[in-house]
């Protein structure tokens, strides 16, 4: 038979049970508080890290532009050999290409995600290659980025323009091969586009040696800030050598200072436009021709 507890014993037992319950509750509250504080600290550290990255990127001084793109574009001449220029210094202004009277100068402001640019390339690539190969014309390619909004946040237009600048610096004479490879692999709007490593693959497939810094340049997006600045400049300021033309759309095609007014896929129209411009360069007034000299009289 179990002994019954006295009233005082029952009271003491109840107090001890209450003390234990209070101690357990206190421990749980301390643990919960510690987890909360720890979570706040972790979140704060993450926020500080993000803010630090943003600040570093915003205060990082702009680097020089790519070599061989002093005009924010690369000039490709006979046999696809590129003109060499120094890099535009940080905070410096691009140097416009000098106009020439002995050759047709074609300029293209393009975005590697742009469907209209792809249509222009498909329709006119053979014509451009013939003109460059023969030395009848130079082609100045300006990679710009106006379609970042269509690449699901990956900034493909800016990344690909930066990659083109890397090729201009490291492998200028193979720029055209890279350019055609980029259009042959042009992604559709509304996709993430090619990764940087896939762009390196395009360069390799074009026969370009990506060692020696080219792959690193593409992967790190070294000239993305340059591409953004070049895009703003081209779209807001009159293009050099033109009568107030701005590159507010892609492709913007300029032939000796005149904007090509036709559709991107109008190959015949583009050929006629270039031919007309070339004809105006080669025509010479009749009065400039010196008359032939009469033969001197003979002594005999």
Domain-located, residue 125: yes
Q: Are residues 231 and 94 in the same domain?
A: yes
What's the confidence (pLDDT) of residue 69? 98
pLDDT band, residue 198 (cuts 50/70/90): very high
pLDDT band, residue 121 (cuts 50/70/90): very high
Each residue of 43-70: pLDDT tens digit?
444 344 333 333 333 344 567 999 999 9
By residue range, what is the domain housing residue 155? 74-281
What's the confidence (pLDDT) of residue 39? 56
Q: Are residues 86 and 209 in the same domain?
A: yes
Q: Is 101 exposed, middle or buried (0-12, 13-18, 19+ CB in 10 A)?
A: exposed
Q: Lowest-confidence range among 48-52, 134-138, 148-152, 215-219?
A: 48-52
Greater model confidence, 231 or 49: 231
Domain-located, residue 4: no
Max Cα separation, the chain?
168
If one counts the domains in the chain, the total is 2
Domain-located, residue 80: yes
Domain-located, residue 65: no
Is residue 244 pLDDT above 90, yes or no?
Answer: yes
Q: Are residues 54 and 93 in the same domain?
A: no
Rounded to an integer, the average pLDDT of 182-199 is: 98
Q: What is the CATH number of the domain that holds 121?
A: 3.40.30.10
Domain-located, residue 287: no
């Amino acid at each position: 038979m179990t002994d019954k507890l006295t009233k005082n014993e029952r009271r003491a037992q109840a107090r001890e049970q209450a003390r234990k319950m209070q101690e357990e509750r206190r421990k749980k509250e301390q643990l919960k508080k510690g987890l909360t504080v720890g979570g706040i600290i972790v979140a704060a550290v993450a926020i500080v890290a993000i803010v630090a990255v943003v600040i570093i990127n915003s205060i990082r001084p702009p680097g020089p532009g790519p070599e061989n793109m002093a005009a924010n574009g690369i000039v490709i001449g006979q046999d696809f050999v590129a003109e060499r220029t120094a890099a535009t210094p940080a905070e410096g202004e691009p140097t416009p290409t000098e106009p020439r009277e002995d050759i047709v100068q074609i300029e293209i402001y393009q975005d590697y995600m742009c469907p209209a640019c792809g249509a222009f390339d498909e329709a006119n690539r053979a014509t451009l290659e013939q003109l460059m190969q023969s030395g009848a014309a130079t082609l100045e390619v300006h990679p710009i980025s106006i379609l970042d909004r269509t690449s699901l946040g990956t900034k493909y237009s800016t990344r690909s323009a930066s990659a083109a600048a890397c090729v201009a610096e490291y492998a200028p004479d193979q720029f055209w091969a890279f350019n055609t490879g980029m259009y042959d692999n042009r992604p559709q709007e509304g996709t993430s586009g090619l990764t940087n490593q896939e762009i390196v693959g395009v360069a390799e497939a074009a026969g370009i040696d990506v060692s020696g810094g080219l792959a690193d340049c593409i992967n790190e997006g070294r000239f993305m800030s340059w591409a953004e600045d070049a895009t703003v400049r081209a779209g807001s300021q009159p293009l050099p050598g033109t009568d107030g033309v701005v590159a507010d759309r892609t492709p913007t095609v300029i032939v000796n200072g005149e904007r090509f007014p036709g559709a991107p896929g109008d190959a015949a129209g583009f050929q006629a436009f270039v031919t007309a411009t070339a004809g105006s360069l080669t025509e010479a007034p009749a009065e400039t021709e010196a008359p032939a000299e009469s033969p001197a009289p003979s002594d005999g």
